[in-house]
Each structure stands twice: as C-alpha cells, then as structure tokens.
Amino acid sequence: MTYDDNNIFARILRSEIPNETVYEDEHVLAFKDINPQAPVHILVIPKGAYISIEDFGENASAEEIKAFHAAVSKIVREKNLSAQGFRTITNTGLHGGQEVPHFHLHILAGKPLGRMLPEG
C-alpha cells in the first residue's frame, strides 16, 4: 500500500483544511477530532507520510518516534489528563476501522470511557 497524499490529514498538514491545533512541533501535529467521541478527543499525528503504526515504527527515524511519544506526554500533562485517566487508540486497516490512512493516535478523556470494546 502506498501513502495517499490526498488523505484528510495530509491536507490538514498542508493547511488546505483547517484544524483546531492543540500542539505542534517540528515532527508532530495534534488537533481536536471533528467528531468527538468524548469530552476530550485529540488526534496526534506525525508530520511525516506514514500510513499506520506499523509503517511508522518501521520507517520513521528515532527522532520522529521520540518526538511523537514526547508530544503525547506533553499534551496529557498540559491538559492534566492523568489525574482522572484517559485512553489512547490507534486503529489500523479494515478490521481496525481505520478511516484516515495517515497514522494517528486518538486521546480520549473527560468521562468514564467504559469497557475497551463493546460486549460480544
């Protein structure tokens, strides 16, 4: 699978589509999800063109990988999410329910989030 340069997050990174940025640095952008599933719903993406967590882990530089995880920690700390807890999700591929083929981590918080998956 090759990276689709016209996916929504690639277009956000090129500023063709607006976003509500919550964090940005050289390697990472984080913004509010347009269809929030919890009171806090933030998407964290690398600026590099990676399709999935697998692609990112295999092909990103150590600097990009460090920056990504450091950004998640900074966002969580800045928004004081650890006190009550939060959930991170990365959907991958068809069975994972990935809609946007640019690697992203969901940060969900702000209420009890229930079980990880629906029963059954």
Indicate the DSSP class of residue 98. -
93 forms part of the interface with ligand AMP (CB under 6 A): no
34 forms part of the interface with ligand AMP (CB under 6 A): yes
Tokens matching residue 26: 């050289």
2 forms part of the interface with ligand AMP (CB under 6 A): no
7 forms part of the interface with ligand AMP (CB under 6 A): no
64 CB neighbour count, 10 Å cutoff: 17
100 forms part of the interface with ligand AMP (CB under 6 A): yes
* Nearer to ligand AMP (CB atom), residue 27 or residue 102: 102
Tokens matching residue 111: 């209420």
Candidate list 27, 41, 95, 104, residue with the active-site label: 104
The question of whether 95 is a catalytic residue gets the answer no
CA distance linking residue 23 with residue 30, whole number of Å: 5
Q: In what order do the strands lie in the sheet with 28-32?
A: 21-24, 28-32, 40-46, 105-109, 86-89
Residues that bind ligand AMP (CB under 6 A): 8, 17, 19, 33-35, 43, 91, 97-100
